[in-house]
Chains A and B, each alone.
Chain A
Amino acid sequence: MQNAQQQLRDTVRKLFADKKIDVLVGFEKGAVPGRSRPCIIRKAEDADRLVWDNTCSNNLAVYLADFYRKKPPPKGQPPPPSPKVGIVVKGCDALSVALLVRENQAPRDCLVVIGMPCQGIADPATGQTFPSCLACANPVAEGTDVTVPGESRKPVPASYRAVEEFEKKPAAERWQRFHDEIAKCIRCYACREVCPNCYCKECFAEKTNPRWIGVGNDRSDTMLYQLGRMFHQAGRCVGCDACVRACPMGVDLRTFTRKLAKDAKELFDFEIGFGPETEALLSTFKDADSNDFITDPEKEK
């Protein structure tokens, strides 16, 4: 990894020197041991600040959309050109970058995607690699412009075992689990803030007209926030777990987010991918899509 870090610094220095990028999103040493923090650098000299190791946990794609948000130019001036952004990615981050490109949140030709070798991220509390990283289906970034050589984890085929086990429980028990998980949530919205997919300028959670979510502390409002947010990730969640790691209350909704991924696979044979050919799950359809769930009063139950 030491080697990869050095190569990353060299690559970035060269990209700046060649004027291929105006700004780079990467990691630097954090203030707390065992953690790195995201950093944005704008000149070649700063490349030496960059860090690459198993503490680089954030999904950096979260910063991307902001660079390309249309802001009104100063009076009488033409809009500034889109910046050329370099971004350091793991496999999961690369999936997010691809998603943002597909959803027109970042122009692909303005990006320089730097793929890094990833061995999994270590939990700062224990030093152990996160279980979700051990089960990662996409540890090797694809569709990158530059690849820093090094050894990545071997991909593990996607498994939904935890979801399947949960499905077998009676409804009342599932409800209790959902309820208890939500009961921990203080609605700080950190999960939304760290998610690269959550780039809406105005989130339904804060809309006042219509007001979808009450501002009080009734639990049903928290549930609606979480259900709404999870559903907005259907066919979009890349499974990077940034939301789980960001949560100060230890809310873990993966049995539910993964359920959406599992059903998307089961019902529509859909899996999120690196390529531009991955379709938007909920804005496409097939004539043969599942119709079994439809209530038909003429059909014998």
Chain B
Amino acid sequence: MSNTAQPETLGSRPWEPTIVAFLCNWCSYAGADLAGISRLQYPPNARVVRVPCSGRINPLHILRALQEGADGVLVSGCHPGDCHYISGNLVARRKFALMKRFIEHIGVEPGRVQFSWMSAAEGPRFAALIKQVTDDVKQLGPATRLVKKM
């Protein structure tokens, strides 16, 4: 198969957002798995990065994703109380709450960066989450702020 035709087909396709999704290994990632094996249809825009716990997320991970051209970032961990490491997500929650307000304060559009809790049993809810985040980011259009130019 020749792939010379590919750029053209790509070029004529409407813009689709790229969403970097940091998913906690123990819940949200398993939720994504469940959505997959249940053959649920949801937008293919999320690029999943598996992390050991939502507590692993460093604000710089989010900023770097935006800098490298992600149109949206989603961070998802276990529901409060269900963290595999007991309180990783509760410590993270404070960080996330401050972080979300902070990057919106500097002028990054609300909705570009989202946080959620998702359990391993919530396949359909996971599919709905990805759909919702993708729709939100589509509405905002391609990311321009914080993006590296060179």
Contacts and interface: CB of A to CB of B under 8 A. Distances in A.
Contact of A171 (B63, B109, B146, B148): B109
Given A216-B150, A267-B98, A231 B59 contact: yes
B131 interface: yes
A174 B60 contact: no
Interface stretch (A101-109, A110-118, A129-137, A292-300): A292-300
Interface string A260-283: 100110011000000000000111
Interface in B110-130: 110, 114-117, 125, 128-129
B100 A293 contact: yes
Given A218-B148, A297-B125, A256 B105 contact: yes
B68 to A, nearest CB: 9
Contacts of B47: none
B50 interface: no
A177 B105 CA distance: 11
Given A282-B94, A282-B95, A295-B114, 9 more contacts: A172-B107, A218-B150, A230-B102, A285-B87, A290-B93, A297-B128, A297-B129, A297-B131, A297-B132
A268 B63 CA distance: 24
Interface in B67-124: 67, 74, 80-81, 87, 90-91, 93-110, 114-117
A68 interface: no
Interface string A214-254: 10101111011001101100100000000000000000000
A77 interface: no
Interface of B: 59-60, 63-64, 67, 74, 80-81, 87, 90-91, 93-110, 114-117, 125, 128-129, 131-133, 145-150
B145 A291 contact: no
A153 interface: no
Contacts of A67: none
A2 interface: no
Query: Number of contact residues on A: which range applies?
Result: 35 or more
Contacts of A268: 94
B105 A259 contact: yes
A283 B116 CA distance: 20
Contacts of A219: 149
A174 B93 contact: no
A214 B148 CA distance: 10
Interface of A: 166-167, 171-179, 204, 212, 214, 216, 218-221, 223-224, 227-228, 230-231, 234, 256, 259-260, 263-264, 267-268, 281-285, 287, 289-291, 293-298
A294 B115 contact: yes
Nearest to A285: B90
A212 B110 CA distance: 24
A223 B107 CA distance: 12
A282 B107 contact: no
Given A220-B149, A287-B80, A293 B63 contact: no
B149 A234 contact: no
13 contacts: A171-B104, A175-B107, A212-B64, A214-B148, A234-B102, A256-B105, A263-B97, A267-B98, A282-B95, A284-B91, A284-B94, A291-B93, A293-B100
